[in-house]
Structure 1
Amino acid sequence: MNPRSTRTATRTTGRRTRLGGLVAVGLLAALAFSSCGGDATGNEGAVNDDGSVDLSEVTLIVGDQKGGSKALLEASGLLDELPYEVQWQEFTSGPPLLEALGAGSLHVGGVGNTPPLFAAAAESELKVVQAATYGGIGDAIVVPADSEIDEVSDLEGGKVAVAQGSSANYNLLAQLREAGVAYSDVQIQNLQPADALAAFSSGHIDAWAIWEPFTSQAELEEKAKVIADGAELANGYTFQVASDAALADPATTAALEDYLAKIAEA
């Protein structure tokens, strides 16, 4: 099995083994901290007079990333089994997804280990409702195939692309610290994945700190070599995060419970 296959397999296995026991606990804990009121979610009409919820009348607005929750549900065959409508909105990374979630544009979204820390610091109105880990191996620093950079310490003075506030940003910080290189001694290029890939392909950057599936994409399409991954220094956590407004609405919460259960099953 090649490194890319190993990395992908490890991530998938880790996610499936960790989700099951966290779904109910995460959502119940979030509900305990959410208020009874809240902003409208658009699903108020799905609640019947007796308090029951007609899921066929619910629309769940989900923030996703490339190779994220939608891909997982499609691969497992569970996407067609959702009893409510899902509006998928794809984001380039976790920080803009959580910004949209905090602004009320989404009900729930999947992100890596670092964006929720910034959202919490900003006192955003959202809660973590599910967690999993793939062990951090998908977070990696890659360099061009013909690069003379062989280890993290060689990055000193070089240009490194990373989406600031992302899980890859944390991994880069941890890797530099482990190698004895100050963050200020690296020329950080704050680029989202599509722009970073273009810069990487054209030789405008020396390295790229990224996460799956972009790690595998760089290896396959650009023949990039991995000089470090997060297996030892990053926890590899991923989170499903919901807005307070979604958690305060009975109809949206009912759909969330099913959605999180499907993610766990996948």
Structure 2
Amino acid sequence: MRRKNQKSLLALLLIMIVSLFAVISGCSGEEKNVKSAGESQETKDKEEKVVRIGYQKYGTLNILKKQGTLDKALKSHGYSVEWIQFPAGPQLLEGLNVGSIDIGHTGEAPPIFAQAAGTDLVYIGHEPESPLSEAILVPKDSPIRTVQDLKGKKVALNKGSNVHYLLVKALEKAGLTINDIEPKYLVPGDARAAFEQGSVDAWVIWDPFFAVAETETGARVLADGKDLVKNREFYLASRKFAENHKEVIDLLLEEINKIDQWAKSAPKEVAELLSPELGIDVASLEKAAKRRTYGVQKISEQVLNDQQVIADTFHQLKLIPEKINVKEAALEETNN
């Protein structure tokens, strides 16, 4: 009888030991899960504190990057900045579309093409009109004298960029269409080479490449944007980033405005500041700085309407497949 009781006690003890181990193991697993979740959230928070800014070779963002004032301002709010350079606006907005950047700047046309392609972007600000900062160029000894003379000629341009619209409007004024020329879609570096080698008859380009071509090759202006286009520079962001990081957007525009106020009266200083970083001579950069305008502004109803006109033009020319509503790319506060 005693042996039977001993066996029962032993069995009960074993059950208690197993149960205790199960409880300890469960608690340990729960602690690991909580720790893992905490680490995951901490990693996510750190990732969300990086602001990735896309920029091109020239513009207020270049000055801002060089001065380092935005980096300092954002650091005080717990953010770090990653600067990523792109050859032109269309490529920059493709970066925005795939999520490699959060904020960037382009001319008028790229956001229209990007919106038509499904990029969920929003307009967050813009610089004033600078129609003299882009032009159709021909070699200094070219027999081409008027825009009408471009009929049947090879014209280099960056597809979907601001100068695409300039070319359309210039041809329209001359009684021609894009179908009357032979467009060669090239990024600025390749277009410059083709222009100098005589592979194309004309080049539609913006500053500072425009100024460099004048300074170094003696390129002649066939037509600039005056009385044809407004040529605004826009600041854009992914919708998700703009809605979730309003403080960053506000701080960015505040710092851009400070730089603009300095730059508008200091073209030579701007040129000297940017020359080493851009690898462009001071004379060319000063020429470009003098013909652009500064003073960041909020997006207005009129600006959105102007963008809609450009979008409708591209749709009529079948350059974008479907009609878009530009106001869908405005922040909610803009529409209110």
Q: TM-score band, normalised by the shorter chain? A: 0.7 to 0.9
**Match of 2:117?**
122
Q: Distance in 2 between matches of 1:70 and 1:132?
A: 11
Q: Quick one: structure 1 residues 43 and 260, their matched pair in 2 at CA, closer, same or farther if it must change by over 3 Å?
A: farther
Q: Distance in 1 between matches of 2:221 and 2:68?
A: 32
**Letter paired with 1:124:** T
**Match of 2:258?**
265
User: After the TM superposition, which of the residue ranges 191-200 and 71-80 deviates more from structure 2?
Assistant: 71-80
Please, which of 229, 244, 247 is the counterpart of residue 254 of structure 1? Answer: 247
Tell me by how many angstroms 1:100 deviates: 1.1
Q: Quick one: structure 1 residues 231 and 76, their matched pair in 2 at CA, closer, same or farther if it must change by over 3 Å?
A: farther
Q: Deviation per CA, 1:102-158, whole angstroms, max 9, x where unpaired? A: 111111000001111112222321101011223311120001111111111111111
Q: Distance in 2 between matches of 1:181 and 1:261?
A: 43
More helix by share: 2
Give 5+ residue unaligned stretches, structure 2: 1-41, 260-336
List aligned pairs for 1:41-52, cutoff 5 A: 45=45
Q: Quick one: structure 1 residues 44 and 259, their matched pair in 2 at CA, closer, same or farther if it must change by over 3 Å?
A: farther
**Letter paired with 1:86:** V
**Match of 1:197?**
192
List aligned pairs for 1:175-214, cutoff 5 A: 175-214=170-209
Q: Deviation per CA, 1:182-210, whole angstroms, max 9, x where unpaired? A: 21111100000000001111111110001
**Match of 1:243?**
238
Q: Distance in 2 between matches of 1:156 and 1:72?
A: 39
User: After the TM superposition, which of the residue ranges 74-83 and 138-147 deviates more from structure 2?
Assistant: 74-83
**Match of 1:154?**
149
Q: TM-score, normalised on structure 2?
A: 0.60
How much identity, in percent, do the aligned residues show? Answer: 37
Secondary structure of the structure 2 residue equivalent to 1:83: helix
Give 5+ residue unaligned stretches, structure 1: 1-41, 48-56
Tell me by how many angstroms 1:256 deviates: 2.5
Q: Is the 8 A contact 1:44 1:249 kept in 2?
A: no
Secondary structure of the structure 1 residue equivalent to 2:167: helix
User: After the TM superposition, which of the residue ranges 144-153 and 57-66 deviates more from structure 2?
Assistant: 57-66
Please, which of 89, 92, 95 is the counterpart of residue 97 of structure 1? Answer: 92
List aligned pairs for 1:9-88, cutoff 5 A: 45=45, 58-73=49-64, 78=69, 81-84=72-75, 85-88=80-83
Q: Deviation per CA, 1:52-85, whole angstroms, max 9, x where unpaired? A: xxxxx93211111101233232576745643333
Q: Is the 8 A contact 2:70 2:252 kept in 1?
A: no
Matched, 1:108 2:133: no
What is the RMSD computed on CA atoms of the aligned residues? 2.2
Matched, 1:221 2:196: no
- What is the count of residue pairs matched by the alignment? 214
Q: TM-score, normalised on structure 1?
A: 0.74
**Match of 1:174?**
169
**Match of 1:132?**
127
Secondary structure of the structure 2 residue equivalent to 1:128: strand
User: After the TM superposition, which of the residue ranges 254-263 and 200-209 deviates more from structure 2?
Assistant: 254-263
Q: Distance in 1 between matches of 2:228 and 2:71?
A: 37
Moved over 4 A (4+): 74-77
Q: Is the 8 A contact 2:56 2:62 kept in 1?
A: no
Q: Distance in 2 between matches of 1:80 and 1:122?
A: 32
Q: Quick one: structure 1 residues 43 and 65, their matched pair in 2 at CA, closer, same or farther if it must change by over 3 Å?
A: farther
Q: Distance in 2 between matches of 1:74 and 1:109?
A: 12
More strand by share: 1
Higher relative contact order (CA 8 A, sep 6+): 1
